[in-house]
Amino acid sequence: MSLPKLETPIYELILPSTGEKIKYRPFLVREYKILLTTLDSDGEEIHRVITELVDVCTFKKLNVNTLANFDIEYIFLNMRAKSVGEVASITVKCTNCENKMDTEMDLTKATIERSPDHTQKILITDTIGIEMRYPKFEEMIEIYQNFKSDKIVEMLCSCISTVFTEEQLYNDYTNEELIDFVNSFSKEQFEKLEQFFLTMPKVVQHIEKDCDKCGTHNNIKLEGLQNFFV
């Protein structure tokens, strides 16, 4: 006699970038074991496994390779909360004395923080602007790692979807032409481009904790999947 089949619960959430309602399921034991084996792997392998888990657990209804970075993070956190538990044990540092403190974090309280002055359309001059797309999961990691390097111009250019003026849209150009265009920016104009990435939506959670060493009341903001990957 064959064993009974278990029904996996299905949940819903709102995709942050579009407001679309999507369905997802928790990851299974075999999938969780794969996730655990990546904890000591390099960043590229961790991101690959997380992306594949998100794809499978949303029933392959999303094009995960084009989703914004914060979409992947938000979906994964919700999956993790329903799969392993809503509360995770973490270690944070006191903002005053840097004492390491053990505390707990409720993953269901993670939210999407949106800066009020954030925009995907950036005016470089009074008549010339660019329209941005949100970086994908693996692209955002590279941007974080190379923000101070010579590669950053090329990486930021990859997220420019259109150059426009009052009369015309430009989207038929080579990568070399786009890089030359951005390299001609003034420092102030390039900072406008950087601000897009610094203010784009992100998954955050605020943790309050009194330091048991110096007594400081800490209100710590966690952001980025590396803080929630527990």
- Rg of the chain (C-alpha set): 21
For residues 80 and 57, give the distance between their C-alpha atoms in angstroms, rounded to a whole number: 11
Q: Rounded mean pLDDT of 115-136?
A: 95
Are 18 and 126 members of one domain?
A: no
pTM of the model: 0.85
Are 41 and 141 members of one domain?
A: no
Count of domains observed in the chain: 3
Are 151 and 129 members of one domain?
A: yes
Kindly report the backbone phi and psi dihedral angles of residue 192, in degrees, each rounded to the nearest multiple of 5, phi listed first.
-65, -40
95 within some domain:
yes
For residues 130 and 121, give the distance between their C-alpha atoms in angstroms, rounded to a whole number: 6
Flag the least confident range among 3-7, 55-59, 105-109, 203-207: 3-7
56 within some domain:
yes
Per-residue pLDDT at 227 exceeds 70: no
116 within some domain:
no
pLDDT in tens, 168-203: 999 889 999 999 999 999 999 999 999 999 899 999
Are 78 and 149 members of one domain?
A: no
For residues 142 and 196, give the distance between their C-alpha atoms in angstroms, rounded to a whole number: 16
In percent, how much of the chain has pLDDT > 70? Answer: 92
Are 131 and 103 members of one domain?
A: no
Q: What is the pLDDT of residue 178?
A: 95
Are 212 and 99 in contact by the 8 Å Cβ rule? The answer is yes
Range of 141's domain?
121-199
